[in-house]
Amino acid sequence: MTMNRTTLNAYLEQEVSDPDLVDLIDRIASACWKISQVVRDAALNGHQGQAQSINPQGEVQKPIDLLADDIFRHSCKQNDRTSVLISEEVEEITQLRPSQQGDFVVAYDPLDGSSNLDVDLSVGSVFGVSRLAKDLKPLPAGRALICSGYAIYGPSTMLVLTLGTRVVGFTLDMGSEDYVLTHPDMRIPADTAEFAINMSCAPHWDARAARYVEQCVAGPDGARGKAFNMRWTASMVADIHRILIRGGVFLYPMDAENAGLGGKLRLLYEAFPMAMIAEVAGGSASNGKADILDVSAETPHQRTSVILGAQNEVQHFQSLTL
Ligand code: AHG
Ligand code: MN
Ligand code: MN
Ligand code: MN
C-alpha cells in the first residue's frame, strides 16, 4: 500500500516564506542525519569512550561530542545568512560573517545525553534559530526564537520541529533518506501521572523539589491523590520526546551541586529550544519562578533549572512554598 508522504522539504516549502530559512533548516536536518550515522557506527569506528579534552562546562568530551559539533558547524556555515553560532562544545561565540551579511543565530547542543552513547541508549541534538536583535547582541532572547527543534537518535531517527504554531515530528526513512511527516501535531496534555527526574540528586535538592517528589511518590493516599510513575533516561532529548508522545513532566531543578552554576542544563541550546517546543505543544516550561523563555541570557553557557511539560504539574511545582 502506498501512503501519501509529506517530506520535510515539502513541509518547509509550504510553511516557511523565507527561502534562506528553509535552506538553514534543511542543512540542520542533514547534519542530524549525518550525526545519526556517526552515532550508529560509533563502536565500529572507534568513536566510543572519552576524548582528551574538556568543554566549557568542565565536562570531559567524547569523540562524538566533537564530531557532532564539526558536522553541525560545517552544515550551518553553508547557509549564506547564518551569522552567529553558539555551541555547547565551544567556549566562544562563533561570528561566521558580519551582521550586514547574515542575520541568523543558531544555538545548538550537537549531541545531548552523551553519557548514554557507549550504552547504546537514545541520544539527540537540540537547536534554536533566531534573528540577530536590532542592537546586534549575539545572545538571543527566548521569545525571539523563530524555529526550535531536536533530533532523537533512537530505534528510529526523528526530527521534531516548531516554527511557532505547531510541533511536528518527521521520521527518517533510511531507505529513501527522506524525513517523512509522521507526527503532524504533537501535544502535551495538561495533566499527567508520570514525572522524570534524577532521584540520585535528592540529597542536594532545594525544599521545593524535595516536596514535589515526596508528593508524587506518596501514592493515591498522599496529597496528590494518585500514583505517579517515574522515568529517567539521562538524555534530555529522550525524556522530553517521551513527554511529547505520551505526556509527563521533566525536572532538573536547582540542587546544591549546581546552585553556584545556576543549574545543570544550559539556557541557550537546551532549555530555550525545549521551552519553545513545550509551550507550542500546549505545555509549560519554567525555571521554578518564571517562564524559561522570559529569562534573559547574559552569557553563552548560562545554566538554568528546568521544570517542563504538563501545564498543571509545572503550575503545581511553582505553587509549592520553599
Ligand atoms: P549533554 O550530554 O549535552 O552534556 O547533556 C546532558 C544533560 C541532559 O541531557 C540530561 O537531562 C542531563 O544532563 C543528565 O544529567 P544526569 O547525569 O544528572 O542524570
Ligand atoms: Mn555535555
Ligand atoms: Mn545536552
Ligand atoms: Mn551535548
Tell me the pLDDT tens digit for each residue of 9-41. 999 999 999 999 999 999 999 999 999 999 999
CB distance 89 to ligand 1 below 6 Å: no
* Residue-level pLDDT at 99: 82
* Residue-level pLDDT at 101: 87
CB distance 233 to ligand 1 below 6 Å: no
Q: Ligand 3: distance of its center to the CA of 240 in Å?
A: 12
Whether the predicted pLDDT of 3 surpasses 80: no
Tell me the pLDDT tens digit for each residue of 165-203. 999 999 999 999 999 999 999 999 999 999 999 999 999
* Residue-level pLDDT at 81: 96
Tell me the pLDDT tens digit for each residue of 76-128. 999 999 999 999 999 999 999 988 889 999 999 999 999 999 999 999 999 99
C-alpha cell of 3? 501512503
Q: Ligand 4: distance of its center to the CA of 62 in Å?
A: 10
Given pLDDT bands bounded at 50, 70 and 90, which one contains residue 1?
Answer: low
Given pLDDT bands bounded at 50, 70 and 90, which one contains residue 129?
Answer: very high
Q: Ligand 2: distance of its center to the CA of 113 in Å?
A: 7
Tell me the pLDDT tens digit for each residue of 45-86. 988 888 778 988 888 888 999 999 999 999 999 999 999 999
277-290: string of b/e by CB count within 10 Å (b at 16+)?
A: bbbbbebbbbbbee
CA distance 211 to 209: 5
CB distance 109 to ligand 1 below 6 Å: yes
| Closest atom of ligand 1 relative to the 113 alpha carbon | 2
Topology of the domain covering 194-319: D-Maltodextrin-Binding Protein; domain 2 (3.40.190)
Q: Ligand 3: distance of its center to the CA of 270 in Å?
A: 6
* Chain mean pLDDT for the chain: 95
Q: Please provide residue 103's backbone torsions phi and psi, each rounded to the nearest 5 degrees.
A: -125, 0
Given pLDDT bands bounded at 50, 70 and 90, which one contains residue 276?
Answer: very high
Query: Cβ(252)–Cβ(197) under 8 Å?
Result: yes
CB distance 236 to ligand 1 below 6 Å: yes
Question: Please, which contacts does 37-46 make with residues 24 or more away whose CB atoms are closer than 8 Å?
Answer: 38/64, 38/67, 38/68, 38/71, 39/64, 39/111, 39/117, 39/123, 39/153, 40/153, 42/117, 42/118
CB distance 113 to ligand 1 below 6 Å: yes
Whether the predicted pLDDT of 322 surpasses 60: yes
CB distance 65 to ligand 1 below 6 Å: no
Tell me: ipTM over 0.85.
yes
* Residue-level pLDDT at 238: 98
Q: Ligand 2: distance of its center to the CA of 222 in Å?
A: 37
pTM of the model: 0.97
* Residue-level pLDDT at 49: 83
* Residue-level pLDDT at 38: 96
Given pLDDT bands bounded at 50, 70 and 90, which one contains residue 2?
Answer: low
For the segment 262-283, the average pLDDT, to the nearest whole number, is: 98
| Closest atom of ligand 1 relative to the 252 alpha carbon | 11
| Closest atom of ligand 1 relative to the 115 alpha carbon | 2
Which residue, by CA, sits nearest to atom 3 of ligand 1? Answer: 112
**Superfamily classification of domain 8-183:** Fructose-1,6-Bisphosphatase, subunit A, domain 1 (3.30.540.10)
Spell out the domain ranges in the chain. Answer: 8-183, 194-319
Tell me the pLDDT tens digit for each residue of 243-254. 999 999 999 999
Q: Ligand 4: distance of its center to the CA of 222 in Å?
A: 37
**For residue 194, which of 113, 254, 277, 250 has the smallest C-alpha distance?**
250
* Residue-level pLDDT at 134: 86
Given pLDDT bands bounded at 50, 70 and 90, which one contains residue 321?
Answer: confident
Q: Ligand 4: distance of its center to the CA of 108 in Å?
A: 9
Which residue, by CA, sits nearest to atom 15 of ligand 1? Answer: 234
CB distance 198 to ligand 1 below 6 Å: yes
CB distance 114 to ligand 1 below 6 Å: yes
CB distance 235 to ligand 1 below 6 Å: yes
